Amino acid sequence: MPALRFRQIHLDFHTSPHIPAIGAKFDKKKWQDTLQAAAVDSITLFSKCHHGWSYHPTTVGKIHPHLSFDLLRKQYDATKEAGINAPIYLSAGLDNLASYEHPEWREVNKDGAYTGWAQRMLQAGFHMMDFHSPYLDYLCEQIREAVRLFPDCDGIFLDIISQYQSCTRWSLEFMKANGLNPLTEEDRKESSRLALEKYYRLTTEAAKSLRADMPIFHNGGHIPRGRHDILPYFSHLELESLPTGGWGYDHFPTSAKYTCNLPFEFMGMTGKFHTTWGEFGGYKHPNALRYECAAMLAYGAKCSVGDQLHPSGELDPSTYEVIGAAYREVRDKEPWCRDAQQVFDIVVLSSESENYNERNNWPDDGAGRVLLESHFLFGLIDRTMDFSPYKAIILPDDIRIDEELKAKLDAYLAKGGKLVLSGESGLWKGREAFAFDIGAEYHGLSPSHPPEDEPNRGHDYVLPLPDLRAPFVNMPQVMYSRSHRIRVTGGQSLGQIFDPYFNRTWEHFCSHQHTPNQLEPSGFDCGVRHGNILYFAHPVFLHYRAYGAVAYREFIVRALRSFLGEEGISLRTNLPSTARVSLTSQGDRFVLHLLYAPTIARGGVIQLSGGNASGGCSVEVIEDLPPLHGTEVHLRLPEKITKAFLVPDGTPVPFERQGGALTVRLPAFSCHQMVEFPS
């Protein structure tokens, strides 16, 4: 498969049958000039949309009723003539035309209600289809037709790959034939898993029916961590992650830090929209898109920006001016990003990969935020990956230990690796005892907890050791969920836990939220360090994700830095917590990436119709790119490194070496600065 291109457009075209003159303003030269001026080198074009309409003559589906010519062919030929790649898009999980003509193919849940985006008969929105139904055969025929019409296309993109606990007649018959009980949630989930397995196999066969090397990507809105079973059906990975569209600005970095450990090229996918997909007339500030594309490069990804074509078929000039501002910069930076490998000191064993949670897994997100804001070189892994390259592995908050994982972690520890545990991580799966010698006795969960109907009330308090505390905290700090009771025996305590006077109930409570702490410590410890194991008694990463208290992060980070020691940390910097840093290797050189674009929450909670932001969310905006002055970075790089340059402009940067580390002081920069260290 040819290498992915760096500057891609994902061009949505979900077009109602009630809009006239589809594609009437398409102009070949204007199309080509617009894309080339914006430095675009690949654009995904539509064969079939969520409404179910095709944008070319078809013998399988139906062409859009107000399209009088082969729009896809016109777009495709113009694109390829300009030297720009053209993958082909088909909606897979959603198809309103098919659901109107075959309502029995539309997915329903155990109560007979529709699933997916439009759950009521009179609700506007797209219809989720059941992959156990004959719809899957219909979809595969559409894919085969697209491949026959465009055999030299640059890939097939299939969208909305999901299956809920479907109970259509087709799913019920499947469960009955395969010994599954539709009255049991576990069996309904297994039926859905098998439906998706069938989907992946048959659609991939259809996409490759003429070319074994046809690139293919199945989009489910997130690359699930630990799901190696589906990876053989992919040629590359695309990390859909619109910061303003429901994913947030911290989703992409952690997603990329996992995906870079898989044997695939990958791209990030953001959007030009102010909010999310399906937005006409919404424009992200150019500085936001510049930052988002720079972040993709910094974390090892190629770039993709989502746009939506007007039904007229004319590209929006304002959109491509915004995209061009970012993509012309990407074009200049590509030589320092091609085939770059991320450099990590430590990794997070993904909670999502162990517990199969949904996107935005809170322990993973919390660990990611702590480490991003504190400028550690870190990645995310699952249990199938090699543990040996890393100086420490973090198991965030809720990873119980089975025999397989225990054996792998024991082997890692025996070779000098370090293990960081928190909350219930490190406990045996199925019993309340630690799988490792953490240097402390285990006494179960703390009895200090709120009433069930008041989940946000405080539970107990911690006072870390003086050198582990935030510099502005010298008294016990409230923690918002229960600790695991430990009493240190052979290890070193991280500090003390203070209990509240009583739990908050209708009979006895104090003040608005928290019963204050007792004056004497409880006798239990807030964490312990023992040999190569560091343990926090609370789910500290989930805490930070939920509440964002700087004092929590300071406690975690100070304990981590002490635990890892100078030799265990390859990078230190005075960058603010809102900045980001990464280090990559291209074999003959290292490239340091510095990112800075402070975000601000603007507006209130918004309700959007359909898509990832439909449940209501606020918008986090990047507008200003203030310069950072006086940035220092201390790096442990090989002694053979003797030079450094700002790139792409090539300005030399002096540095000094001391104690095995080099120190580089950078001139002021904004948004994104790369520093090359050739070997």
Q: Is 440 helix (H, G, I), strand (E, B) or coil?
A: strand
Residue spans of the chain under pLDDT 70: 358, 449-458, 603-618
Residues of the chain with CATH 2.60.40.1180: 573-678
User: Which part of the chain has CATH 3.40.50.880?
Assistant: 344-569
Return the closest-CA partner of residue 97 out of 150, 137, 138, 57.
138
First-to-last alpha carbon distance for the chain, in angstroms, is 30
CATH architecture of 573-678: Sandwich (2.60)
State CA 142 to chain mean position distance.
30
Single-letter code of the amino acid located at 42: S
Whether omega for the bond prior to residue 648 falls within 30 degrees of 0, making it cis, is yes
Q: Which of 193, 175, 188, 14 is nearest to 94 (CA)?
A: 14
Query: Can you say whether the dihedral through the CA atoms of 180, 181, 182, 186 is positive or negative?
Result: negative
Q: Which residue has the tokens 């900045």?
A: 579
Torsion region of 156: left, alpha or beta (phi above 0 gives left; psi -120 to 50 gives alpha):
beta
pLDDT at 613: 54
Looking at residue 516, its pLDDT comes to 86
Residue 466: which residues within 8 A CB-CB, separation 6 or more? none
For residues 107, 111, 112 and 114, what is the CA-based torsion angle, rounded to 10 degrees? -50
> Measured between alpha carbons, how far is 252 from 254 in angstroms, rounded to an integer?
6
Residues in the chain: 679
Return the pLDDT at 450.
61
Decide if 118 contacts 112 (C-beta within 8 A).
Answer: no
Q: Sign of the C-alpha dihedral, residues 543, 546, 552, 557?
A: positive
Q: Does domain 344-569 match CATH 3.40.50.300?
A: no
pLDDT of res. 451: 56
